[in-house]
Amino acid sequence: MRQRSAGFVVLTTLGLACYWPFFRRFEFSLFFMARPNADQDMLLSYALVMGLCATFAIAAIAAHKPIERFIASNRPLAGLASCASAAGYLLLLLVPSLPATVIASTLLGLGSVALTCIWAVLITSQHGNRPLICIAISLPISSLLSLAILLPEPTSLVLAVASPLISVAAWLSLPLDPPIEFRRDALFSLRKQLPLSAIGIFGLFIIVGHLIVGALYQTDGFIPVSERLITTVLSSATLLFVAVLLAKSSAADKLLEKEWVMLATFYLAAAFLVLCIGPDSYHLGTGIIAAELSCFETFFWILLAFSVRQTRLSPVFAFCGGFLLLKTIPVGVAKLLLPSLFEWLDLRLIDYTAAFVAVMTFMLVVLTVVLLNTHAFVLPSAAETPNDSTKSPLLSKIDACAQIAAEANLTPREKEVMSMIAQGHSLKKIGETLFISIGTVQGHAKHIYRKLGVHSKQELIDLVNERD
């Protein structure tokens, strides 16, 4: 059991580490260095990729139910679609023409959103803190991978092309737990726990953060090695500490508030260096702010995964929304739109650094107050009173099913069937949900009853209710 758990952590961490890199502008420019109009072609492709990522993410949000069913029933095809990013990179590198650039940009956008969907389904189907630990560990590893641009050119290009392929291979090697029966009021529950005002402020916070980092580097997209090392070391140390805290605690909700305060404190220290000490501290301040941006983004993914599991919102719906908020919009606005606007107005971003840092600090204070006031870090069941009639018993029932399945050594498919039987679903409904015949469902049910020592559906439900 421990070996299986360790294997899950290793594969999930590796897969997510190869998923996180999101078209960093300098790394992206490596694919255009051999072209005569490198800057112009790179900006065109970069803008296309951002626009197509947003378009595909919105489409995935709208069609989240069929996408989730497709991922559950057609894992090889879902994995193949997620490899589109690798094909896009190769096309950019090998065919330097405008039509090929458009096709490659489309493949890059499709592959990024597909990777988001498949990992969203897998992460939110798992119980306990393991998926949250994997998210925390994967970002430092991803930061180390980003240093690959310092290597000779063929190696850096190979790593960029191979990253989505490695991520898909890791995902295909992991078992997919039974799909959670999502509640119709789940979006309302998530909005109650993570208010839209907080999500909007956080998006602006990330956008302004990217602007500050870009302005302080003052290097037209090239990031000095010193800042890269500062960012990598600080973000890695912070997130590894978060992972250790999650591993040592069984109650993730009690840690999230403390971790947020820790991240906010580190950011305020960086803001002090930039605002109060001045240009002499810009290098250190820039590194800390860049590191804290990575940590805040990671924290938001952890909080989103945590909230989705509690409210049982569609993972594709939630994570594609987060992808749109944390990746596509901030990168597009901060790396393309606002720099072009400042250039058109003949202004320098560096001259407005102090104002950006002050605004970002104010937003962080407001965001912290909103999150603490709405109990965003607390389990819904912990925030409610024991007599609250809105408390959902299904949350603990799912955990009870997972525990019983582990003790009885049920197969992944038997675990899926048992969970749905315990929720009261008919054999026909189970077959339709899992895309298997009623006869197959009956066969799995017989094996489950034998392993659990029960003789009927009602006895199984009673067993789960007793554990609950």
- Residue-level pLDDT at 35: 78
Contact 14, 68 (CB under 8 A): no
- Residue-level pLDDT at 420: 86
Mean pLDDT value across residues 411-435: 84
- Residue-level pLDDT at 155: 75
pLDDT tops 60 at residue 401:
yes
Could you tell me the pTM of the whole model?
0.70
- Residue-level pLDDT at 184: 47
Q: Are residues 166 and 280 in the same domain?
A: no
For residue 321, being part of any structural domain is answered with no
Q: Of the candidates 368, 361, 369, 364, which has an alpha carbon nearest to the alpha carbon of residue 271?
A: 361
For residue 428, being part of any structural domain is answered with yes
* Boundaries of domain holding 421: 394-467
pLDDT in tens, 82-101: 899 889 888 888 888 888 88
pLDDT in tens, 371-380: 666 555 554 4
For residue 340, being part of any structural domain is answered with no
**Long-range CB pairs of 65-68, under 8 A, 24+ apart, other chains included:** 65/314, 67/117, 67/316, 68/117, 68/121, 68/179, 68/314, 68/315, 68/316
Q: Are residues 289 and 416 in the same domain?
A: no
Number of structural domains in the chain: 3
Q: Are residues 302 and 448 in the same domain?
A: no
- Residue-level pLDDT at 220: 43
Contact 332, 200 (CB under 8 A): no
Average pLDDT, the chain: 75
Q: Are residues 199 and 289 in the same domain?
A: yes
Share of the chain above pLDDT 70, in %: 70
For residue 343, being part of any structural domain is answered with no
Domain stops at, among 336, 362, 388: 388
User: Does the CA dihedral 35-40-334-60 come out positive or negative?
Assistant: negative
Contact 357, 212 (CB under 8 A): yes
pLDDT tops 60 at residue 189:
no
pLDDT in tens, 147-175: 766 667 777 788 888 888 999 999 999 87
Contact 58, 324 (CB under 8 A): yes
pLDDT in tens, 28-75: 777 777 777 877 888 888 888 889 999 999 999 999 888 988 888 888
- Residue-level pLDDT at 228: 63
pLDDT tops 90 at residue 114:
yes
- Residue-level pLDDT at 57: 92
Q: Are residues 196 and 153 in the same domain?
A: no
